[in-house]
Amino acid sequence: MVNIQEQIELFIKKCRVKNLNVTPQRLTIYRALLSDGSHPNPDAIHKKIIQEHPTISFSTVYKTLEAFERTGIISLVNNLHDTMRYDPITKQHHHIICVKCKKIIDVFDEELDFIKIPQSVTDGNRLLGFKVHFNVICSNCRE
Amino acid sequence: MVNIQEQIELFIKKCRVKNLNVTPQRLTIYRALLSDGSHPNPDAIHKKIIQEHPTISFSTVYKTLEAFERTGIISLVNNLHDTMRYDPITKQHHHIICVKCKKIIDVFDEELDFIKIPQSVTDGNRLLGFKVHFNVICSNCRE
DNA sequence: TATTAGTTAATAATAATTATTAATTAAAAA
DNA sequence: TTTTTAATTAATAATTATTATTAACTAATA
């Protein structure tokens, strides 16, 4: 789906623009992330990297990913990772999420419930359900 | 959107079915969750409850929410909360998420990029983007 | 080369969650 | 009703992921 070499070159360009030196560690971390389509967590990335780069530390992985994210080079998939959030309503609905204050608001909309499911989703997987996440900055959060 | 009284009665029924005693603590926790449309985290729920129920402990809140979730009475919004997950691809795409092993697979599908945005989403909020999450059990995880 | 800023690695600190245990309460049996 | 048993709760300890701090190191610049 994506050309690795192309992505790496793009990555290097982005770093230049954002004034991030392209260090061996950073390249390694980016490559590890790119090569693993499952979106590994910092721990998994570190484990993967440690072989070709035995002295790299955990905090480097964290700080690096954070720097990439902050500058828009990569994105954090689960911006609600920091704490558990529960939903008392179990019937199909969707969510508006404020990326600043992390509040989650329900969206009930019949139309969204009937989107066309891509082939790849059901291919080998048992589909349990889906949800649309709308990332917003809410009225309270834009000062 | 949802009738509170109705939901509470439904909750009580569900507890019976799942062999969970309907204790004051559980009712209080469920009500706190239901009454706050923002999907509060355990800490916020605890803070809210402590007034009318000053002896309730943190671990009770955690265990109770966990029990509700386990039995399907409520659902965990962010099943990827446990650890950070990054995405090197920044162009619009969507995600298949295995609820067991938590792996995240990209879905590129033009059609999904053009869903109709409900009124309530843009109402007061600045929309940054959206993503469809397909929750599945992947081939590896159904033993 | 000297200076400076940026980066890394090691370590300590924090915060959220989970596990453990004892006390309490509720349900079931006698 | 009393006794027994199981479920629930509260308090506490332990664990894990993440963040902050700091000193050593490296790269860029003057």
pLDDT at residue B99 is higher than 70: yes
Cα separation, A38 vs A34, in Å, equals 9
Q: Tell me how close the Cα of A119 comes to any Cα of chain B, in angstroms.
A: 10
Confidence at A70, pLDDT banded by 50, 70, 90: very high
List pLDDT tens digits, range A12-53: 999 999 999 999 999 999 999 999 999 999 999 999 999 889
Report, as an integer, the average pLDDT of A130-135.
Answer: 98
- Report the pLDDT value the prediction gives residue B14, as an integer from 0 to 100: 95
- Distances in Å between the alpha carbon of B112 and those of A124, B67, B131? 20, 35, 9
List pLDDT tens digits, range B121-134: 999 999 999 999 99
Which residues have CB under 8 Å from A88's CB, separation 6+?
B7, B11, B30, B33, B34, B74
Choices 1.25.40.10, 3.30.460.10, 1.10.10.10, 1.20.210.10: CATH for B4-70: 1.10.10.10
Containing A98, the helix (H) or strand (E) segment is: strand A94-98
Q: Report the candidate in A62, A71, A54, A64 with the shortest Cα–Cα distance to residue A13.
A: A71
- Report the pLDDT value the prediction gives residue B51, as an integer from 0 to 100: 87
Q: Which of residues 64-83 of B touch strand D (CB under 7 A)?
A: 64, 67, 82-83
- Report the pLDDT value the prediction gives residue A127, as an integer from 0 to 100: 97
Torsion sign over Cα B77, B79, B85, B91: negative
Cα separation, A132 vs B120, in Å, equals 13
- Report the pLDDT value the prediction gives residue A142, as an integer from 0 to 100: 86
If you compute the radius of gyration of chain A from its CA atoms, what whole number of angstroms results? 19
Q: Is the CB of A43 under 7 A from strand D?
A: yes
Domain A94-141 has CATH 3.30.1490: yes
Q: SS3 for A101? A: coil
How many CA atoms does the CB half-sphere of B83 hold within 13 Å?
12
Is B101 in contact with B136 (CB distance < 8 Å)?
no
Q: Give nucleotides in strand C with any atom < 7 A to a protein C-beta.
A: 6-12, 16-20, 26-27
Q: Is the CB of B42 under 7 A from strand C?
A: yes
Confidence at B22, pLDDT banded by 50, 70, 90: very high
Q: Give nucleotides in strand D with any atom < 7 A to a protein C-beta.
A: 7-13, 17-21, 27-28
Nucleotide D8 C1' to residue B20 CA (A): 10
What is the percent of chain B where pLDDT is above 70?
99
Q: Is the CB of B92 under 7 A from strand D?
A: no
Containing B94, the helix (H) or strand (E) segment is: strand B94-98
- Report the pLDDT value the prediction gives residue B143, as an integer from 0 to 100: 73
> Where in chain A are the domains?
4-70, 94-141
Q: Report the candidate in A16, A99, A40, A8 with the shortest Cα–Cα distance to residue B80.
A: A40
Query: How much is the mean pLDDT over chain B?
Result: 95
